Amino acid sequence: GQNIDQPTEMTATEGAIVQINCTYQTSGFNGLFWYQQHAGEAPTFLSYNVLDGLEEKGRFSSFLSRSKGYSYLLLKELQMKDSASYLCAAMDSNYQLIWGAGTKLIIKP
Amino acid sequence: GAVVSQHPSWVICKSGTSVKIECRSLDFQATTMFWYRQFPKQSLMLMATSNEGSKATYEQGVEKDKFLINHASLTLSTLTVTSAHPEDSSFYICSARDTLGTSGRADTGELFFGEGSRLTVL
């Protein structure tokens, strides 16, 4: 079956770095997405990886290893506004997104 | 990025009534739109895939007669919750991909989400 695993909740300190891991199993693979979702709002796009390696975009970076079925989202210089849920989603061979349950990130001062 | 607008943002209705939610792609054409439901503290659950000019594809366990989807044009899909009950109270979100590239940007597979519609059925 198809499955996405990511931690339910993580806590980090303002100004620090946090890494949110995601493992996936899909029928075929057409890329891995990370979305940020604040409570009561729709998700917003953060990153897309389809090739192995690290993609850096400002304070946020995303890594993919296709052979390991593994990705992580790295957030640097954490700010209070980064408190949100982070959703990992993998696109299968039919271009359908398989969603993880999301990781709730709590930032403490 | 491409813009998807969803309306209404909030709706409160009485049990037994029907509610229509609209999802519009403002600056691109979308042959396919996706409808999700999200209960508190849970992830997005795909309800159905809306296809322009043809019938929607529903996920297992989603009642097609209760959640009516119409995708009459390349920029508009509607979800109608018929005979709504309190258990239908949820956050409904639509999304679309710019597969045709009509926004002038290449399709990266990115989903553009509407703002979401919070439905409360009394």
pLDDT digits (tens, 9 = 90+) for A60-77: 999 999 999 999 999 999
Q: Is the pLDDT of residue A15 over 80?
A: yes
Q: Are the beta carbons of B1 and A45 separated by less than 8 Å?
A: yes
Q: Which of residues 48-87 of B touch A (CB under 8 A)?
A: none
Q: Which residues on A lie below 8 Å from B110 (Cβ)?
A: 33, 45, 48
* Tens-digit pLDDT profile for residues B60-90: 999 999 999 999 899 999 999 999 999 999 9
Contact partners, residue B112, CB within 8 Å, separation at least 6: A45, B1, B2, B3, B4, B25, B95, B96, B97, B98
Question: What is the pLDDT at residue A97?
Answer: 84
* Tens-digit pLDDT profile for residues B90-103: 999 999 987 777 76
